[in-house]
Amino acid sequence: MYASLLSSPGSLFAEFDRLQRELQQVFSAPSSIRAVARGAFPAVNIGMTPSSVEVYAFAPGIDPSTLDVSVDRGLLTIAGRRGARIERTGQQAAQSDPSADPQANQQAGQQGHSAPGASSLRDDTNVYVRERFDGSFRRVISLPEDVDTARIEATYRDGLLRISIARQEAAQPRRITVN
């Protein structure tokens, strides 16, 4: 039953790594809707100005066309997918990652550099620690009640997703003259 795991030490380490990540997700669940589990991706900073709520999501290595930003009933959702950056050379690459393009990697290697952001591994290398997150993600952020969901702007540049949500005019501070 476990023969396939024991046949290659790398696959055994990968399985333990996957199990550790799953257990960490289960036992480090946030205690409230505003709490965030450690290691959640993407990491976010949220702040408020007199005229807007600013959300900064640190999401390097993502194709902006794969990002899905939506708002519904006071909840801002950021979803997307980040692909793996560790690429193998040779035949094992095609077997382990169907999206890997060995020909493109080989051509890049002949030109004296690797594919953008990729570190090529030899065919006999087994990855047993993978700390860089890859895969699908989804973050849901509770917004204050005074936001105007019709006025939202989102931009992605240099790995930073900036979402600016305008606050309602009535919620903005104003000066009152005393007579």
Reduced 3-state DSSP string for the chain = CCHHHHHCHHHHHHHHHHHHHHHHHHHCCCCCCCCCCCCCCCEEEEEECCCEEEEEEECCCCCHHHCEEEEECCEEEEEEEECCCEEECCHHHHHHCCCCCHHHHHHHHHCCCCCCCCEEECCCCCCCCCCCCCEEEEEEEECCCCEEEEEEEEEEECCEEEEEEEECHHHCCCCCCCC
Quick check: is 178 in a domain? Answer: no
Quick check: is 162 in a domain? Answer: yes
Quick check: is 148 in a domain? Answer: yes
Quick check: is 176 in a domain? Answer: no
Structure confidence by residue, pLDDT tens digits, 25-74? 666 555 444 445 555 788 999 999 999 999 999 988 888 999 999 999 99
The pLDDT of residue 26: 66
The pLDDT of residue 101: 44
Q: Where in the sequence is the domain holding 2, given as residue range(s)? A: 1-30
Structure confidence by residue, pLDDT tens digits, 103-138? 443 444 444 333 343 455 677 778 777 777 778 889
Total-model pTM? 0.57
